[in-house]
Amino acid sequence: MKVGIIGGGAAGFFAAITCATKNPNATVIIFEKSNKLLSKVKISGGGRCNVTNATFNNSALIKNYPRGGKFLKKCFNQFNTEDTVSWFEKRGVKLKTEDDNRIFPCSNSSQTIIDCLLNEARKLGIIINKGINITKIKNKNIGFSLQELDNSYEVDKVIIAAGGSPKLSGLDWLSELGHNIEPPVPSLFTFNMPNEHVTKLMGVAVENAIVKVQGTKLQSEGGLLITHWGMSGPAILKLSAWGARILNNKNYTFDVSINWSSKINEELVREQLNVFKSEKKKIINSKPFMLPNRLWEYLLNKINLSNDKRWIDLGKKEFNRLVNILYNDTYYVQGKTTFKEEFVSCGGINLSDIDTNTMESKICADMFFCGEVMDIDGITGGFNFQAAWTTGFIAGNNVCS
C-alpha cells in the first residue's frame, strides 16, 4: 500500500506518523511544496509552539472554533487534547500549562516539537519529499496520480493536508475533483487604525476589555494590546476569527467600540465612578478599573478633562463623558495585519463533503483530508493545532482501513 500525503505541516506529519504506526508495511510519502517542513509549527507561539489548550471537556473545546465546531465534536471523541498531551509526553516532550490554559513545551522552543515529529517520521521510515508542488490529482478509480509540472507520482491512497489557501484559485485542484469549496478569507488578524492617535500608546496592555464591531452582533472579551498600527491581543484576535466573513464583506473598514471597564452595562460603570465623586484627589491620580496610567491620561485628554481637575469638582456633563468613554470608546478601523506571520484562513473543503468519522472524502473514495484545508478554524490559543492533530490522527488511522 502506497499512501501519499500532500503537505508537510502539523496535520500532514501527524497523519503520516499515525498511518505508518498502524500500517508498518505501507509506504508513506510526504510531499511538501516548499523547502521547509513544519514552518507554522516553527513560528507559532512566538517560536515556542502553542501545542494545544488545556480545555479537556470536548463540549467546551468546540466552542473555540468559529467554523467546524460541530464537525469536530465527533472527532474529539477519537483524539482530544488529553490524547495530544499524552502523545507528546510519551515521546519525551515535557509540556507545561500556562495561566491562560495554553500548553507549550517546557523547553519554550518550537524546535522541540519539530524534532519530535521528524524523529518519529525517521523511525517509521516515512519518505519526505521537499520542493514538490502537487498541482493536480488524477483519480484513476483505483489509486491516484499526483502531478507536479512534468512529473507524476502514483499512490493507492492520498491524504490532503495542504493547509489553508489565501485565494479561492488555490483550491481549484480540489474543486476539479468535485469538492465543494467555501471561499477562503483571512481569520486571526489585528486591526489597523492609521488615523487614530491611540497608536501613540503602543505597548500599553489592558487585562480585560470588551470589544464590539458597531452595526453587528460581533463582540469579544479579553486582553487588548495597543500597537503602533492599531490594536491586537486576545480580544481583537477572537473578534477577527468570529467575524472573519463579516469583516471581509466590510473590506476591513468599520467602527469598533471599546469598553475599557469590562463592566457588562453602563450602570455598573456609573456605580464604580460614583465611589470616587467625593474624593478631593485629582482625577489623573485616582483612577478606576486598574487601567494603565498612560491609557487613563489619554482617555481624560480625549474628553478634554484637565489633569488638574479633582473628582469632587467634576460636573454632571463631564461625569457623563467619562462614563461614556470608559464604556463606549470608539475607533475607526481601516485594514488588518496578519497576526505574527501566523496566517490562518476560514474556508476550504466544505465539511459536508467529508466523513467526520474517518476524514474520507464523500466525493472521492480513498481520498482523505486533515488540517486547515478543510473549512475549520479556531481562535488563538492552541486550538488550530489541536484540530490539526485530531484530524491528522483520524485520517492516518483510517486511510489504510
**DSSP line for 318-341:** HHHHHHHHHH-EEEEEE-EEEGGG
Q: What is the pLDDT of residue 341?
A: 57
E strands in 23-118 = 27-32, 52-53, 95-97, 102-105
Mean of the per-residue pLDDT values for the chain? 95
What's the pLDDT tens digit per position in 332-391?
999 999 866 567 889 999 999 999 999 999 999 999 999 999 999 999 999 999 999 999
- CB within 8 Å of 184: residues ≥ 6 apart: 164, 165, 166, 167, 168, 170, 171, 345, 346, 347, 348
- pLDDT of 322 over the 80 cut: yes
Give 123: exposed, middle or buried? Use CB within 10 Å, 0-12, 13-18, 19+. Answer: exposed
What's the pLDDT tens digit per position in 260-302?
998 889 999 999 999 999 999 999 999 888 999 999 999 999 9
What is the three-class DSSP state of 123?
A: helix
* Domain residue extents for the chain: 2-186+346-398, 189-338
CATH placement of domain 2-186+346-398:
3.50.50.60
Evaluated on CA atoms 127, 128, 131, 134, the torsion sign reads positive
Q: Indicate the pLDDT class of residue 401, thresholds 50, 70 and 90.
A: confident
Mean pLDDT of 68-79: 97
What's the whole-model pTM score?
Answer: 0.93
CB-based contact 388:13 (threshold 8 Å): no
Q: What is the pLDDT of residue 141?
A: 84
Q: What is the pLDDT of residue 67?
A: 97
CA 270 to chain centre: 36
Fill in the amino acid letter for 215. Answer: G
Q: Indicate the pLDDT class of residue 166, thresholds 50, 70 and 90.
A: confident
Q: What is the pLDDT of residue 264?
A: 84
Q: Using alpha carbons, select from 117, 130, 98, 86 the residue that is nearest to residue 17.
A: 117
The owner of cell 515556542 is: 48
C-alpha cell at 45: 507561539
Burial code (b: 16+ CB inside 10 Å, e: under 16) for 215-254 equals eeebbbbbbbbbbebbbbbbbbbbbbbbbbbebbeeebeb
What's the pLDDT tens digit per position in 9-45?
999 999 999 999 999 999 999 999 999 999 999 999 8
